[in-house]
Amino acid sequence: MRVELMAGADQRLEVPQAAWQHIAYVKGQLDDVGEQDISLPLPMLDEKLLRILVDLLTQHANDELVPDNWADLPPRDLTNADADTLGALGGKDLIALANASSMMGCQLLLNCVAKWLAQELYDKEMPAIQDYFGVHMELTDEHYAHLRNVYPAAFE
């Protein structure tokens, strides 16, 4: 049985079984169709991000499967390979990868991306975070004061 993930109409990558075991979307589809080859579209990813997703999953193919209650997954550090791969991406690509991971039910990969973003953005000021994601908003002092009142922990 082969499992392929697709970005666009003709960009397909085969995913090793040990890697797709981490993806609830794939397991659910296989439950529906049985033991046959499947190709599943991931329209939110381009070919570059699809390749990165498959590479990361393959690197973590032998990691512990996420328990039914994924909150019980023990914390783990990012590997050097994770850091190299995720560090080469910009903020918008990381968000696309996190969204795809979430939509696929791939908590292991979502945890990797979230941990990377947390490390990258820790202790950064708002302008640096805006630059990281390529989002620029002109906030007045009143906006910042309101945000500080509503979300004080974000400004500690």
Measure the CA–CA gap between 90 and 75, rounded to whole angstroms: 24
Measure the CA–CA gap between 58 and 5, rounded to whole angstroms: 13
> What count of other Cβ atoms lies within 10 Å of the Cβ of residue 21?
18
- Provide the residue ranges of all domains of the chain, joining segments of one domain with +: 3-122, 124-156
Read off the pTM. 0.74
Architecture of domain 3-122: 2-Layer Sandwich (3.30)
Q: For the chain (length 156 residues), average pLDDT per consecutive 10?
A: 82 84 83 86 86 86 64 68 89 90 86 88 88 81 88 83
- The reported pLDDT for the residue numbered 69 is 54
